[in-house]
Amino acid sequence: MNEPALEYAFEIRVDIGPFERIGRSADEELTFTPITGGTVAGPLLTGVVLPGGGDWAVERSGTAQLEARYLLRADDGTVIDILNRGYYRASEEVTERVAAGENVAEEEYYFRTAPVFQTDVPAHRWLAEHQFVGLARDEDGQVCVRVYVVR
């Protein structure tokens, strides 16, 4: 059996607004973070993140389960839907540093995603036909996701 290979595709840098606490119960917390824009840049795709959409997070026992949905516009004008699910886990100390705006090294916390793309435009159809993984971090007030295609 072959080992999977990862090829760097692009980085999504997402601008976000202040999060809203929605709440649920004593054992978990639901929040929503609006997406206000951003950029996409890399060897396989360039463009922008369109304002709208957002990231819903449910935190249980120190791990947040994430589900972000938003749109990308490629440089050729193609609009691409993205559903990006993942997990975020960090110590309380690291969470406080990130919340204070500090750029914390990726190795200090776990922030991984599995983006799924939808488009019917032939030039970008490969996005809807491959599996991807994302390595994410908070940096300079943005959520940054390095996206790799699984080969």
Q: What's the pLDDT tens digit per position in 63-118?
A: 999 999 999 999 999 999 999 999 999 999 998 999 898 999 999 999 999 999 99
User: 18 near 101, Cβ under 8 Å?
Assistant: no
Task: Write down the pTM of the prediction.
Answer: 0.93
pLDDT at 83: 98
What percentage of the chain carries pLDDT values higher than 90? 89
What percentage of the chain carries pLDDT values higher than 70? 100
User: 15 near 145, Cβ under 8 Å?
Assistant: no
Confidence of residue 147 (pLDDT cuts 50, 70, 90): very high
**DSSP 8-state secondary structure symbol assigned to residue 114:** E
Confidence of residue 24 (pLDDT cuts 50, 70, 90): confident
Please tell me the distance from the alpha carbon of residue 29 to that of residue 88, in angstroms, as a whole number: 14
**Average pLDDT of 49-76?**
96
Please tell me the distance from the alpha carbon of residue 133 to that of residue 77, in angstroms, as a whole number: 24
pLDDT at 27: 84
CATH number for the segment(s) 6-150:
2.40.160.20
**Of 88, 71, 74, the residue nearest 135 (C-alpha):** 88
